[in-house]
Amino acid sequence: MRAQLTLETTYDQSIVPRGPDDPIYEASAAARRAFWRNRGVAQEGFAVERATANIHNQTKWFGPHRRILAIHAPERLTLATDGLSTPWAGISDQENGVECELFMEFDAATMDAEEIGNWGNLLINIGDLVADGHRVARDVDKHGAILFCRLTDDYRPMTRIMLSRDPGRIDGLPFGAVPLIRATPIAEAEIEGHDLSEEWGATAARAALAKRGILQHPT
């Protein structure tokens, strides 16, 4: 007796990296740019870093885009991550997406091209730390604001970076809306007298934000 056996192999597309030409990447980039163009003029050709994606079409931010946008508005310059939130597979969760985009705001009058590049490089590095961390975006959402990382002496008198939830979010993305997280450099004097041993130094971070008059997203 002879029998024939047919095997079919199937896989869950939601856990397999997308191909390098998947249209979701450009669709996501277009949605992010459309959002920021409502806040100012995007500087064409500005890119702090264009990292080459690996064979899985991933950078340190998991997707192929690891770059910074510069948005110019009257008296204000905004630097924003472009691609941090794009999940590398079909589902958006902690394992394959960072769940946020970061931004920093500056007084445009105080910034020259070199400083813009330096702060842009720093924002790339902050994005790397957020991508390497575990549920950083969720901790920011939980606490409202956190003391995230220290700065090198190159940035004195600023010594730390705070992360805080912004009321804004980027809609129209193929994988759902993405919250914005503000990255704010602060000086040590701004958190003096606070208990920094608390989880993420959250109370100190919220107090520093309040002193600066930065709107906090309700937790």
Reported as a single tens digit per residue, the pLDDT across 143-189 is: 999 999 999 999 989 999 999 999 999 999 888 899 999 999 999 99
Three-state secondary-structure class, residue 20: coil
Kindly state whether residue 160 falls inside one of the protein's structural domains. Answer: yes
Number of folded domains that form the chain: 1
For 21-81, give the DSSP string: T-THHHHHHHHHHHHHHTTSEE-TT--S--PPP-TTS--TTSSS--EEEEEEETTEEEEEE
What is residue 158's predicted lDDT score, i.e. its pLDDT? 93
What is residue 148's predicted lDDT score, i.e. its pLDDT? 95
Kindly state whether residue 217 falls inside one of the protein's structural domains. Answer: no
Range of the domain at 164: 18-212
What is residue 167's predicted lDDT score, i.e. its pLDDT? 92
The pLDDT-based confidence of 219 (bands split at 50, 70, 90) is low
Kindly state whether residue 127 falls inside one of the protein's structural domains. Answer: yes
Kindly state whether residue 173 falls inside one of the protein's structural domains. Answer: yes
The whole-number average pLDDT for the span 56-85 is 88
pLDDT at 74 > cutoff 50: yes
Taking the CA atoms of residue 60, residue 66, residue 67 and residue 69 in that order, the dihedral angle to the nearest 10 degrees is: -110
